[in-house]
Structure 1
Amino acid sequence: MERTNGLLRVLRTNYVASQDEIKQYNWRSVLQTYGYLSPSEMETIQYNSRAVLEYVMLGKENEASLINSITRSRENARAVQDHITKEMWHNLNAYYLLIREPSIRQTIQSGDPITALDALIRHSLLLYGTIDITMSRGEAYSFLNVGRFVERAIIITDVSDIKLKEVNYRLDDELTLPSLRYLLYSLSGYEVYLKTSRGIMTPDTIMKQVFYDESFVHSILYCMSHISRYFK
């Protein structure tokens, strides 16, 4: 579910970016990270935002898709119901039913995809809240959080790589700032950055927040310190 939450934010941010771009927006780096398409298959949809969203969100043949992650989460939760709360199970089950709603596919295909993405993100946040206020702080909770922060660290690395690919890994160019701004959006870190940097945006300070800011919940160092804590 941590992977699901991260992927939703990546898709939302990139879709907004695709609407802001005057030229055609290329989803290639997202498809390389969250898909299993051949180069020729990728070329057919990489400029089609709706086709990309449908493949990455609802493609059952795509092992990395949103619907497959939610389905596996539900199966895992069913197998460990003795170790989680009934509220958590009900929430996951409702999430599974939501992603299978025909209205979600219809909205992605012909409506406003942001509406579908926001509905799923809200449910994701509801799951986090449910876990926080219903799970006892025992071994199961610690095990759950080790997995959560390992996955979050992987997501941060993946999302950073997606955005750095777009600028050919160059951090010494002002043209990198739009991509890095969208990186902060993807990690829910834009407002935090503005508050701590007084609105001055530089590639160096952005990457320091993403990798080394121990008070930022979507930084690598924050994740690693919590993994260590829960192992202890």
Structure 2
Amino acid sequence: MLSRVADSLYWLGRYIERAENYARFIDVNSNLALDLPPQLNEQWEPLIAATGDLESFKARYKTCDRTTAIYFLAFDLDNPNSLFSSVSKARENARIVRENLTKETWEVLNELYLRMKEGNFKKIWNQEDPRPFFIDVKYRIQLLYGIAYNSVARAEGWYWVTLGQYLERADKTSRILDVKYHYLLPSPEDVGSPLDQLHWMALLKSVSAFNTYRRVFGNISPEGVVEFLVLNRKFPRSIYFCLTEAEICLHEISGHPAKGFGNKAEKLMGELRSQLEYDDIADVIDHGLHEYLDHLQIRLNQISTAIYDCFIGIKDNFNVQISEQE
């Protein structure tokens, strides 16, 4: 496979996953704002912080309220990570490699892009209740996932898209969890209060984990939430699960056996996955949650850079590259 094709497929997976996360984040935060006491801010700033774009937002907007936050996160094309920007870039990458996609996949993605244009025209961010729009966007992306899962051959192209999807998902799960500890809790006195519980519920809903968590752990506790979202081996949005699936994709792409590694990207991925495999919640808490998650995010960035160096930035034919390494 040509490196430019692999690059487009990889970023197609990342941008679609990013868009789905943003749609869900906005939906959950809009609902949370309705449940908060009137005297509290709607707390949109923590959501922007979770995306990593708070500095960019503050440089361009004087106030952080629901209107400016939703516009920035969803429709601002000058924000390269906005929902609309992500959908637009996903569509462009899909157009470049359209021969690698099914007809149905392209049609749903194109309809999603047109839906975003419609939302921009109708100025959804100014509407009293924007949630139905973002729920619709989320469902359209999930439809896209379902069509691809049931119609795309498990060839190299599939693994490139899936690799991008899981790395993006691991990054967003780590960020939204990290922000909880730094922004969401109003004061130490509120620890364990109904307000605190409300925030933890919103956090779980932000990663579609609330119902599954309650079945596994029952009562909501900070330690339980951290263990579930970081170390759980069966939940599809836990960081450990994402890294395990991403590692499988890397080995399928390179053709190297699952045990061991054949390049730097596989080495870094295997090291990080192994660390989480043998960590427990006590290790995370002892290390400090913020420091632990910050370390994870740095390692994820290193893995992404290594993937580019090993597969995309060097040669046009991966089979040639792999044979030279062996």
The normalised TM-score by structure 1 is 0.90
Aligned residue runs from structure 1 range 51-130, under 5 A:
51-102=68-119, 105-130=122-147
| 1:40-72 C-alpha deviation (Å, 9 max, x unpaired) | 645x332x2122112210111111111000000
Change (3 A) 1:169 1:180: farther
Task: From the superposition, tell whether residues 147 and 167 of structure 1 become closer, same or farther in structure 2 (CA, over 3 Å).
Answer: same
Structure 1 match to 2:212: 192
Distance (Å, rounded) in 2 between the aligned partners of 1:194 and 1:104: 40
Task: Return closer, same or farther for 1:38/1:59 CA change in 2, 3 Å cut-off.
Answer: closer
Equivalent residue number for residue 162 of structure 2: 145
Q: CA RMSD in A?
A: 2.2
Look up the match of 1:207.
226
Answer yes or no: is the 8 Å Cα contact 1:58–1:67 preserved in 2. yes
Shift in CA distance, 106/71, structure 1 to aligned 2, threshold 3 Å? same
Which amino acid in structure 1 is aligned with residue 231 of structure 2?
A: Y
Alignment of 1:164 with 2:165, yes or no, is no
Distance 1:104 1:182, change over 3 A: farther
Aligned to 1:12: 27
Residue 110 of structure 1 deviates from its aligned partner by 2.2
Residues 1:87 and 1:41: Cα distance change in structure 2 (over 3 Å): same
Query: 1:10, 1:159 within 8 Å by CA — same for their partners in 2?
Result: no
The one-character-per-residue Cα deviations of 1:154-183 (angstroms, maximum 9, x if unpaired) are 11011112222223898x931443322211
The residue identity in structure 2 corresponding to 1:45 is T
SS class of match (1:61): coil
**Identical-pair percentage:** 22
Distance 1:30 1:75, change over 3 A: same
Structure 1 runs of 4+ with >6 Å offset: none
Q: State which drifts further: 103-112 or 84-93.
A: 103-112
Number of aligned residue pairs: 228
Structure with bigger RCO (C-alpha 8 Å, 6+ apart): 2
1:32 deviates by 3.0
Say which SS state the counterpart of residue 56 (structure 2) adopts.
Answer: coil
Match of 2:201 among 168, 181, 194: 181
Amino acid paired to 1:88: T
- Seen in structure 2, the aligned counterparts of structure 1 residues 103 and 31 have a Cα distance that, compared at 3 Å, is closer
CA spacing shift, 1:91–1:29, aligned 2, 3 Å = same
- Higher Cα Rg: structure 1 or 2? 2
CA contact (8 A) 2:44 2:66 kept: yes
How far apart are residue 104 of structure 1 and its match?
6.7
CA displacement at 1:102 relative to structure 2: 4.6
Q: Which amino acid aligns with 1:119?
A: D
Question: Partner of 2:312 in structure 1?
Answer: none
Alpha carbons 1:31, 1:37 under 8 Å: kept: no
In the alignment, is the contact (CA less than 8 A) between 1:212 and 1:219 conserved in 2? yes
Gaps of 5+ in 2: 1-15, 252-326
Specify which of 47, 57, 63 is matched with residue 30 of structure 1. Answer: 47
Residue 121 of structure 1: CA displacement?
A: 1.0
TM-score (structure 2 length as normaliser): 0.65
Secondary structure, counterpart of 1:45 in structure 2: coil
1:125-155 superposed Cα distances (whole Å, 9 cap, x missing partner): 1111111111111110011111110111011
1:223 aligns with 2:242: yes
Q: Is the 8 A contact 2:24 2:135 kept in 1?
A: no
